[in-house]
């Protein structure tokens, strides 16, 4: 049960900071710029620059670093896994031999490089979700996507679906924990047995979870209809997004740095 408590990925921490108050569109686009340049950069020095930007961002956002790094924990396994795969599977100058396995210099460099990439990727997106409330995040996405409306992109519907999905992540996690506890009290065991048995043991969690998710969906649909929800057509926003000087400056700054980093490294 401790596993479920530790997921901070996708959580929003309210603070009054420069980063929090940025326009969500600017934040999303900046993150996108950083992520694109992450994949263009081919040298460690480039990652050092991007990493520094993110660290500065975390400091300005006043979100406790412990929170940011806790979000990394579930991803740690994937990072270590890719590191190991790269270590052993890359051909090149042999550094160390372990039976039929061999560690190569190229593998080591490549593995560390990919790990850094994943690391910064997660930090960037964590900073975005930690400093932006789900509502303004989807607001921003909706506005950004509405550029594509003319090719038939249902921007509002996509944004609404995302809002609902984000909104229900914690609810479903809570529900899962509750169901797990209830089944443990009834004699279920989720901690021992082989993989086959463990998978089978998930049935008592998954079925009640699906049942309740469907019920929730049904209730939500009725509630929305009762409030006369009819899609995005002609809908106005209570909170108007406004681009201020700070937003433009931030975007220019991030844009220049990422473009330079991508070109130079």
Enumerate binding residues for another protein (CB under 8 A): 1, 5, 13, 64, 66-67, 178-179, 181-189, 203-204, 207-208, 211-212
- Toward another protein, which CB reaches closer, 162 or 188? 188
CB of 182 to another protein, least distance (A): 4
φ and ψ of 102, to 5 deg? -140, 140
**Could you tell me if 35 and 124 are in contact, meaning their C-beta atoms sit under 8 angstroms apart?**
yes
C-alpha 5/C-alpha 21 separation (Å) is 28
- Toward another protein, which CB reaches closer, 105 or 215? 215
CB of 212 to another protein, least distance (A): 6
Residues linked to residue 97 through DSSP beta bridges, in sequence order: 102
- Cβ-Cβ contacts under 8 Å for 32 (sequence gap 6 or more): none
Smallest CA-to-CA distance from 122 within 69, 49, 166 is with: 69
**Could you tell me if 67 and 13 are in contact, meaning their C-beta atoms sit under 8 angstroms apart?**
yes
Here the tokens at position 69 are: 């790094």
CB of 205 to another protein, least distance (A): 8
CB of 16 to another protein, least distance (A): 15
- The CA-to-CA distance between both ends of the chain, in Å, stands at 44
- Toward another protein, which CB reaches closer, 64 or 230? 64
- Toward another protein, which CB reaches closer, 115 or 183? 183
CB of 5 to another protein, least distance (A): 8
- Toward another protein, which CB reaches closer, 164 or 184? 184
């Amino acid at each position: 049960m401790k596993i479920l408590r530790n997921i901070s990925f996708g959580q929003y921490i309210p603070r009054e900071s420069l980063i929090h108050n940025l326009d969500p569109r600017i934040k999303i686009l900046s993150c996108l710029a950083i992520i694109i340049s992450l994949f263009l950069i081919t040298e460690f020095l480039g990652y050092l620059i991007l990493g520094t930007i993110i660290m500065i961002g975390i400091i300005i956002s006043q979100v406790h670093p412990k929170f940011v790094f806790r979000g990394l924990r579930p991803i740690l396994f994937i990072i270590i896994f890719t590191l190991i795969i790269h270590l052993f599977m890359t051909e090149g100058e042999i550094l160390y031999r372990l039976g039929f396995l061999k560690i190569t210099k190229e593998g080591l460099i490549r593995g560390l490089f990919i790990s850094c990439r994943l690391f910064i990727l997660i930090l960037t997106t964590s900073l975005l979700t930690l400093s932006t409330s789900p509502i303004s995040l989807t607001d921003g996405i909706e506005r950004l996507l509405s550029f594509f409306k003319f090719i038939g992109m249902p921007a509002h519907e996509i944004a609404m679906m995302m809002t609902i999905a984000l909104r229900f992540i914690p609810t479903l996690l809570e529900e899962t924990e509750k169901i797990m506890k209830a089944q443990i009290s009834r004699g279920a065991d989720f901690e021992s047995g082989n993989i086959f048995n463990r998978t089978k043991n998930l049935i008592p969690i998954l079925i009640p979870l699906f049942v309740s998710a469907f019920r929730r969906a049904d209730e939500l649909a009725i509630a929305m209809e009762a409030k006369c929800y009819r899609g995005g057509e002609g809908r106005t926003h209570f909170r108007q997004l406004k681009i201020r000087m700070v937003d433009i400056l931030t975007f220019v700054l991030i844009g220049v740095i990422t473009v330079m980093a991508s070109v130079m490294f």
